[in-house]
């Protein structure tokens, strides 16, 4: 029986207030409006960004809210004007989008869509300023346009990527955020050549994805830098050849790396969001050709300080957003890399829980024990 055009009642994990365990509730999910699609979520994973906004320590709290933005699912129905997606399509919802009309979307150099780029403060749909989620007639807010901690969700069609239906959604769903961000930072922005040296700052899931990109590129040395030495053994599975804990030295880590690499690495990728790590990542690249790429999101009051001579001596500093991938245009080819066995995803998925135990995924991440915890919706 078709549910198109009808309200769907389903289970969702609702955050009623900051930092409190999510509650599995029965919620109503309205039909998709113009340029929207309603998705049946089959698998979702927890990303640190969900935890950060659930804790609501650094931003305006917006509750009740349904978090979640790394997921895989199937299109249930489409709203008016949607032509590139249809019911039954296998898809990845993405926290940023591609309207395909703005200057950014038409530029080969940018993926920062004017209409659909990430907005963490907005809890409603763009088209009418309303939520599609409600309980007992009261709105429940969206998160980054995806809200995948629900059996059904509604997203703008520009934030939904159609993928190969043969691709296992419980693996490729991690490509809808962190893994693509780190991988693309290396492959699309740092662009290390075969035999080069690469430093990766931060060995969480994004940093390990950046290391995976360096491994795929044929880097000869991949140096992982992290303050948590318990991450070092696992990092070897992602191509990291040696690890450095800045706490073990009484001088700046950029000097340590320069000594290890005869003047500096060819490329560095910073995945922590700490401004001092960003400065170290820039200052540890070799003069003349070194390129540093910033991935981690800093605190809003941070300032990046370095001597301008570091730039004049022909070091390059770059930033990236979502690995410079355009969600609809580029993500299918990243899924293709996995299907062709060029990219390994299984090793990123360290834990699995049923949807009813979603709070366990939060506990694992808060303890630093998981890379990605796969949550099975269990329709």
Catalytic annotation, residues:
47-49, 69-70, 99, 102, 105, 113, 117, 177, 372
Q: Is 150 exposed, middle or buried (0-12, 13-18, 19+ CB in 10 A)?
A: buried
User: How much is the CA Rg of the chain, to the nearest whole Å?
Assistant: 21
CA-CA-CA-CA torsion sign (24, 30, 33, 38): positive
Contact criterion met (CB below 8 Å) for 157 and 57: no
**Helices (DSSP H) in the chain: which residue ranges?**
48-55, 103-106, 169-172, 178-184, 205-217, 232-235, 253-260, 275-283, 309-312, 327-339, 358-366
Give 3-state DSSP helix, strand, coil % of the chain, rounded to 5: 30, 25, 45
Distance CA 360, CA 309 (A): 48
Neighbours of 227 (CB within 10 A): 14
Residue 22 neighbours by CB under 8 Å, 6+ apart? 13, 14, 15, 54, 67, 149, 358, 359, 362
Question: 346: which 2 tokens?
Answer: 């299984």
């Amino acid at each position: 029986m078709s549910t198109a055009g009808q309200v769907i009642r389903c289970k969702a994990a609702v955050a009623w207030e900051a930092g409190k365990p999510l509650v599995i509730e029965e919620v109503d999910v309205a039909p998709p409006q113009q340029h929207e699609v309603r998705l049946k979520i089959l698998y979702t994973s927890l990303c640190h960004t969900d935890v950060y906004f659930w804790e609501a320590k650094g931003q305006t709290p917006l509750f009740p809210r349904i978090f979640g933005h790394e997921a895989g699912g199937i299109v249930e129905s489409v709203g008016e004007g949607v032509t590139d997606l249809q019911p039954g399509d296998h898809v990845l919802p993405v926290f940023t989008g591609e309207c395909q009309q703005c200057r950014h979307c038409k530029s080969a150099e940018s993926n920062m869509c004017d209409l659909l780029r990430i907005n963490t403060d907005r809890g409603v749909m763009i088209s009418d300023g309303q939520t599609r989620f409600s309980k007992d007639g009261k709105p429940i807010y969206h998160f980054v346009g995806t809200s995948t901690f629900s059996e059904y969700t509604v997203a703008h069609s520009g934030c939904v990527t159609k993928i190969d239906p043969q691709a296992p959604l419980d693996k490729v769903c991690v490509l809808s955020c962190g893994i693509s961000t780190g991988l693309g930072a290396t492959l699309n922005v740092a662009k290390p050549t075969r035999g080069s040296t690469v430093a990766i700052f931060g060995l969480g899931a994004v940093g390990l994805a950046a290391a995976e990109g360096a491994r795929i590129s044929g880097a000869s040395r991949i140096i992982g830098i992290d303050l948590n030495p318990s991450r070092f053994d696992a990092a070897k599975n992602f191509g990291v050849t040696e690890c450095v804990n800045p706490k073990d030295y009484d001088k700046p880590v950029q000097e340590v790396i320069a000594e290890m690499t005869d003047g500096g690495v060819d490329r560095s990728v910073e995945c922590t969001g700490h401004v001092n790590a960003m400065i170290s990542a820039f200052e540890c690249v070799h003069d003349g050709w070194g390129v540093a790429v910033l991935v981690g999101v800093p605190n809003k009051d941070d300032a990046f300080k370095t001597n301008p001579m570091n730039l004049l001596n022909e070091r390059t500093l770059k930033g990236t957003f979502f690995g410079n991938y355009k969600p609809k245009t580029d993500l299918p080819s990243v899924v293709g890399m996995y299907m062709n066995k060029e990219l390994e995803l299984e090793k990123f998925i360290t834990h699995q829980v049923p949807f009813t135990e979603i709070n366990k995924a939060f506990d694992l991440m808060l303890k630093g024990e998981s890379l990605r915890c796969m949550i099975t919706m269990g329709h």
